[in-house]
Chain A
Amino acid sequence: MKLLTHNLLSSHVRGVGPRGFPLRLQATEVRINPVEFNPDFVARMIPKVEWAALLEAADTVPKEPIEGYEHDEKFLRKMHHVLLEVDVLEGTLQCPESGRLFPISRGIPNMLLSDEETET
């Protein structure tokens, strides 16, 4: 699971609503997966990222996108690495509101809930 993916994930346990985001990431096994650097792609992603969530997940990230980031290759490369190359193979994602844990195994998050957890 990449950190860009994590940035989109939210808990859908019944009743938590928007407080289910972001999920708290605990990684027990991480791999670095080289991905071809595409500055344009990364630059376009930046505005879509929920920055606070990214900061929580990757503390090496700057507090916010720097001014003129679109042309700052160093910044873009760093973001490229964090968003696309870090791959969580094993770990958990925890709902900040309910505490419910979603497992990540073999790189795949399992976001299925039981009937009781989702019943409306």
Chain B
Amino acid sequence: MDHEAAQLEKQHVHDVYEGTAPYFNDLQSKAWPRVRQFLQEQKPGSLIADIGCGTGKYLKVNSQVYTLGCDYCRPLVEIARSRGCEVMVCDNLHLPFRDQGFDAIISIGVIHHFSTKQRRIRAIKEMARVLVPGGQLMIYVWAMEQKNRHFEKQDVLVPWNRALCSQLFSDSSQPGRKQQCGHPERSHPYHPPCSVCSCSVCFKEQGHSKRSHSMDYEPMMARACCANISEEGEEENGFYNTFGKSFRSWFFSRSLDESTLRKQAERVRPLKTTEAWANSTISIQPSRHSSLDLDRQEPLSTRQQTSDEDVFVETSQKQLEWLRAPATKKHLRGGQQREVRRNGDGNFLESTNTNANRVNAGDVEEGDPSSKILRRISAVDSTDSNPDATISVEEQQPNVLDSRALMRYYHVFREGELYGLLKENVSELHVLSSGNDHGNWCIIAEKKDNCD
């Protein structure tokens, strides 16, 4: 199962970040205040590691400490390096550090990308290993409980709505996402269909993009302009409802962990391809709203004042305490982070996407996964215990980096889950505090003395 887990993560975490890294060279997303604070509170002369540092947004927060960044994704590490950060490429599960080298470690939006509980535990244990006794570890993971978004399941594939406009207007994007697709920022959160932009399948994303991951790609598409899709502007479920029941049958309740247990029980051969497995056990988020990821962006003055920004402002007053309640209600309205496959990728969408001009040249997804998926649905429905039946349909699609098919895997955490995970499995750590911050479950834990 570990192999399948690694395969899933390769396809829906690593390959996505690698493929998308080049487009976000210019983005400087803001650090989360609470994380900043944690870093700034570290003693001068501390050695700190940011495991899963992405483009390195936290690496220069505190000039009095030595912060090393590492990430699995080389292109992102290169970006961080180009900003003058000290970084390396490595694997959270096998940290290339000697024991007890670091005074503090941060893991912001990282371990929710591990697809099994065991791997998540291993990641945490690795970080604990390289911490000095008394050193602190801060972990942020995306919460399942979100005010303006509904996660069907805990194991989800979240579409990544890269603004297709970025292809057309890639050089005109300004810092702070003020202009996407060359359009002026509007104060109203809902953008009417855009007549100027010729890209017909731009994704529209309202409000802040939040990703509880260390790198923030959302800014690029925050203001994707076009809305020629008929469902645009409908009630939030408009898109989702388009596919109806057949689509929903994708949504299984089993995570990879559960699926494996079941397979073992039934002595079924393990899945051969991650794609098939993923589709049978993971929920694909229709993402009615912008994903409520960590908001790394400063609120823009011209933006519609959403309650995200209110929260952000509010948070500054509460920076010293965890928000105990779930994330404050956000008014992300009409956040239409569309399911990527709707772009006329395949049969699914022809009828609903009349203006399926593809902005991205030449990225027909090989093998037309949508139709394969359709076929697979029935297979999976009836033979979930026989995953092999679903696999023969397709091989791995090499062109999985089609911008419209970029889906990132997340295991979103329930309240208390992260805490429980540490408490029950990582005895070398003692939890100091935990809470919720902008839709993320967060924890600060300390390495106990007299261990390892």
Could you tell me which A residues sit within 8 Å of B by CB distance?
1-2, 4-5, 8-12, 18, 21, 38, 40-41, 43-45, 48, 50, 102, 106-113, 115, 118
Residue of B nearest to A109 (CB): B88
Shortest Cβ distance from residue A29 to the other chain B in the assembled complex, whole angstroms = 15
Complex CA distance for A102 and B45, rounded to whole angstroms: 28
Residue of A nearest to B82 (CB): A106
Complex CA distance for A113 and B91, rounded to whole angstroms: 8
Given A106-B78, A112-B72, the answer on whether A8 and B47 have CB atoms closer than 8 Å is: yes
Contact B90 A10 (CB under 8 A): no
Stretch in contact with the other chain, from B95-103, B159-167, B357-365: B95-103
Given A8-B98, A112-B72, the answer on whether A40 and B44 have CB atoms closer than 8 Å is: yes
Contact A107 B81 (CB under 8 A): yes
B96 / chain A contacts, CB cutoff of 8 Å: 9-12, 102, 109, 111
Shortest Cβ distance from residue A79 to the other chain B in the assembled complex, whole angstroms = 12
- B64-114 interface (Cβ within 8 A of A): 64, 66, 68, 70, 72, 74, 77-78, 81, 86-91, 93-99, 101-102
B99 / chain A contacts, CB cutoff of 8 Å: 18
Contact A44 B88 (CB under 8 A): no
A108 / chain B contacts, CB cutoff of 8 Å: 74, 77-78, 81, 87-89
Instruction: Confirm or deny: B6 has a beta carbon within 8 angstroms of a beta carbon on chain A.
Output: yes
Shortest Cβ distance from residue A23 to the other chain B in the assembled complex, whole angstroms = 9
Shortest Cβ distance from residue B409 to the other chain A in the assembled complex, whole angstroms = 19
Complex CA distance for A84 and B83, rounded to whole angstroms: 16
Complex CA distance for A10 and B86, rounded to whole angstroms: 16
Contact B44 A10 (CB under 8 A): no
Complex CA distance for A120 and B95, rounded to whole angstroms: 14
Given A8-B102, A21-B98, A50-B98, the answer on whether A41 and B88 have CB atoms closer than 8 Å is: no
Given A18-B98, A107-B81, A118-B94, the answer on whether A5 and B45 have CB atoms closer than 8 Å is: no
Shortest Cβ distance from residue A101 to the other chain B in the assembled complex, whole angstroms = 13
Contact B98 A1 (CB under 8 A): no
Complex CA distance for A108 and B68, rounded to whole angstroms: 11
B74 / chain A contacts, CB cutoff of 8 Å: 108, 110
A8 / chain B contacts, CB cutoff of 8 Å: 47, 68, 97-98, 101-102
Main secondary structure of the interface of B (DSSP, over half): mixed
Residue of B nearest to A8 (CB): B101
Shortest Cβ distance from residue B221 to the other chain A in the assembled complex, whole angstroms = 28
A112 / chain B contacts, CB cutoff of 8 Å: 72, 89-91
Given A12-B94, A108-B88, the answer on whether A115 and B6 have CB atoms closer than 8 Å is: yes
Residue of A nearest to B43 (CB): A44
Complex CA distance for A45 and B103, rounded to whole angstroms: 11
Given A41-B45, A110-B74, the answer on whether A12 and B66 have CB atoms closer than 8 Å is: no
Complex CA distance for A113 and B43, rounded to whole angstroms: 33
Residue of A nearest to B103 (CB): A48
Complex CA distance for A107 and B83, rounded to whole angstroms: 12
Sampled A-B contacts (19; CB under 8 Å): A1-B86, A8-B47, A8-B97, A8-B101, A9-B98, A18-B99, A21-B98, A41-B44, A41-B64, A41-B66, A45-B45, A45-B47, A107-B81, A109-B88, A109-B96, A111-B90, A112-B90, A113-B91, A118-B93
Complex CA distance for A107 and B45, rounded to whole angstroms: 23
B98 / chain A contacts, CB cutoff of 8 Å: 8-10, 18, 21, 50
B81 / chain A contacts, CB cutoff of 8 Å: 106-108
Contact A45 B89 (CB under 8 A): no
A5 / chain B contacts, CB cutoff of 8 Å: 68, 86, 88
B95 / chain A contacts, CB cutoff of 8 Å: 12
B64 / chain A contacts, CB cutoff of 8 Å: 38, 41
Residue of A nearest to B70 (CB): A111
Residue of A nearest to B45 (CB): A44
Complex CA distance for A5 and B77, rounded to whole angstroms: 15
Which has the most chain A C-beta neighbours within 10 Å: B43, B90, B102? B90
Complex CA distance for A42 and B104, rounded to whole angstroms: 18
Contact B94 A10 (CB under 8 A): no
Complex CA distance for A10 and B77, rounded to whole angstroms: 19
Shortest Cβ distance from residue A110 to the other chain B in the assembled complex, whole angstroms = 5
Residue of B nearest to A9 (CB): B96
Contact B45 A2 (CB under 8 A): no
Contact B89 A111 (CB under 8 A): yes
Told that A43-B45, A108-B78 touch, could you supply 11 new A-B pairs with CB distance under 8 A?
A8-B47, A8-B68, A9-B97, A41-B64, A102-B96, A106-B78, A107-B81, A110-B74, A110-B89, A111-B91, A118-B91
Contact A48 B47 (CB under 8 A): yes
Shortest Cβ distance from residue A44 to the other chain B in the assembled complex, whole angstroms = 2
Complex CA distance for A9 and B95, rounded to whole angstroms: 9
Shortest Cβ distance from residue B195 to the other chain A in the assembled complex, whole angstroms = 44
Please give me the 5 A-B residue pairs with the lowest Cβ-Cβ distance, nearest first.
A44-B45, A111-B96, A111-B90, A10-B98, A109-B88
